[in-house]
């Protein structure tokens, strides 16, 4: 039997070779992520699998899909995880190299209630992690992650007989066939397909062709786990800039960018301008609400305030609910409300029937965007964007803040903003009209502008977003003159990954 995991082991020691290393900080709000080596070892991954198997047995399940992303070490991680799952008596179904949505699709296609997808998503090399679920199409949230952490770190895992492992060959083809069947584009479109050399390169370009895209321009679709150009993250400015260059170079109608595990989609329009996912979500909501009257949409607190005020959505009877940031939260709320779709500013899109099965999938989002363009054959993507009410939204900016202290820092900022609002204070001369604290703090101002500060759910960072209804300069001022100085007073807050 495995020893109880420890958090104090050091690589290149005898103990490290014989004992599971699992640091508690890897158990995030809705998935698990560690630096392989200093934070978790392969025995620790096996312990995680044993704990996960124990937990799903508690939930009355045994059958679980596993897959892995394209990292140099992901196969080893998956094998260690599988060893633990089998030891817990689980029926493991291995679909091989996969996108996260491929694994979610497999839950339905292979009649497996549970999933464990080995992926570090868009995180830098060195990171690993697992996205887990036991009730399709949902993934774990804080309660489930809390119980899993308790089982793994508390040595509560149980060995059971009857475990098995089955390998399913050719499952990528079944996924591509399913996701591409959602749309059949008649409009001749030229689309840049950007994958950042991540796992999506094995899926996305072929899927777009089968959707009816006339010309697919492949950009960094060759799989290379060194990520030689940049990390596959379509929320990062570097990848978006390269997508914009390709649109201009090839005179494309748009660029679609996919992250490391293919559950997110980023968009650049025909002019080479990036469109943040919340604005794409608003465009899709406008389009879909014409077809599905009185539809409900769920968006995260990082998203534009235009969902609440848009005249087209109001005309079509659409309702929008703002909810906690995080793919698990938005997915769960979208399912709970029976919403037509959910949109997260980081690029996670969720579509319920008849558009999808409720899980986040970058290619299902791509199909919805292409269908929107097909229904508007006389309009370019930039024209659909320009038809939106004006709002100037920042990049998602993330200063470093250690996992151990980030939540306390945000709690202090929340209290500060609540006190400011209670005292009748202002931000850049505007009254505070609402302080939303469902996820960090979103401070809404009298002109519709807002600022957001929250703790990242999966990295040692704080997340900052600002939006102005006035001007680009005012948006920058909300960050530079309001949020940045407020956070700078706190020594635990470090350098930003990017700034406006």
Where in the sequence numbering do the catalytic residues fall? Answer: 121
- Structural contact between residues 199 and 260, judged by C-beta atoms closer than 8 angstroms: yes
Nearest Cα to Cα of residue 127 among 24, 28, 224, 34: 34
Q: Which helix (H) or strand (E) holds 476?
A: helix 472-477
d(CA 115, CA 75): 16
Three-state helix/strand/coil letters over 51-87? HHHHHHHHCCCCEEEEEECCCCCHHHHHHHHHHHHHH
Give CA–CA dist 137/100, Å, rounded. 12
- Fill in the DSSP letter of residue 402: -
Report the distance separating Cα 245 and Cα 236, nearest Å: 15
Geometric angle at alpha carbon 323, from 307 and 299, rounded to 5°: 35
Burial of 371 (0-12, 13-18, 19+ CB in 10 A): buried
Q: Report in angstroms the alpha-carbon separations of 132 from 121, 127, 280, 305.
A: 13, 17, 27, 31
């Amino acid at each position: 039997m495995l020893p109880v995991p420890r958090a104090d082991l050091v690589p290149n020691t005898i103990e490290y070779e014989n004992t599971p290393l699992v640091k508690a900080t890897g158990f995030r709000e809705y998935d698990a992520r560690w630096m392989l080596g200093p934070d978790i070892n392969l025995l620790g991954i096996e312990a995680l699998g044993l704990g996960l198997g124990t937990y799903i047995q508690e939930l009355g399940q045994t059958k679980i899909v596993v897959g892995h992303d394209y990292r140099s070490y992901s196969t080893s991680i998956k094998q260690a995880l599988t060893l633990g799952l089998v030891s817990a008596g689980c029926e493991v179904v291995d679909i091989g190299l996969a996108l996260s949505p491929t694994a979610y699709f497999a839950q339905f296609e292979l009649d497996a209630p549970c999933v464990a997808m080995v992926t570090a998503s868009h995180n830098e090399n060195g990171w690993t992690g697992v996205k887990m679920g036991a009730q399709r199409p949902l993934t774990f949230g804080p309660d489930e992650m809390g119980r899993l952490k308790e089982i793994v770190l508390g040595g509560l895992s149980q060995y059971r007989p009857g475990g098995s492992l089955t390998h399913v060959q050719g499952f990528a083809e079944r996924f591509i066939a399913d996701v591409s069947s959602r749309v059949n584009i008649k409009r001749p479109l030229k689309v840049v397909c950007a994958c950042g050399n991540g796992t999506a390169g094995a899926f996305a370009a072929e899927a777009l062709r089968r959707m009816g895209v006339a010309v697919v321009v492949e950009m960094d679709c060759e799989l290379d786990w060194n990520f030689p150009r940049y990390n596959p993250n379509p929320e990062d400015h570097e990848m978006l800039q390269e997508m914009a260059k390709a649109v201009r170079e090839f005179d494309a109608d748009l660029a679609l960018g996919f992250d490391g595990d293919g559950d997110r989609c980023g968009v650049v329009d025909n002019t080479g301008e990036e469109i943040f996912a919340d604005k794409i979500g608003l465009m899709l909501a406008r389009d879909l609400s014409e077809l599905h009257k009185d539809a409900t949409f769920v968006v995260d607190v990082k998203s534009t305030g235009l969902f609440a005020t848009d005249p087209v959505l109001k005309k079509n009877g659409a309702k929008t609910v703002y909810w906690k940031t995080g793919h698990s939260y938005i997915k769960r709320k979208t399912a709970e409300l029976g919403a037509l779709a959910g949109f997260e500013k980081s690029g996670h899109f969720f579509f319920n029937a008849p558009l999808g099965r409720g899980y986040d999938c970058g290619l299902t989002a791509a199909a919805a965007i292409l269908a929107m363009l097909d229904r508007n054959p006389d309009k370019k993507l930039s024209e659909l964007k320009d038809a939106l009410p004006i709002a100037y939204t920042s990049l998602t900016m993330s200063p470093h803040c250690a996992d151990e202290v980030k939540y306390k820092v945000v709690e202090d900022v929340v209290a500060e903003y609540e006190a400011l609002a209670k005292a009748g204070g202002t931000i850049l001369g505007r009254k505070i009209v609402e302080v939303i604290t469902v996820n960090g703090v979103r401070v809404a101002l009298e002109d519709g502008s807002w600022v957001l500060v929250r703790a990242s759910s999966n990295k040692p960072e704080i997340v900052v977003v600002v939006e102005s209804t006035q001007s680009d300069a005012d948006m920058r001022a909300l960050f530079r003159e309001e949020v940045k100085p407020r956070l700078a007073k706190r020594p635990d807050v470090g350098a930003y990954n990017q700034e406006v």
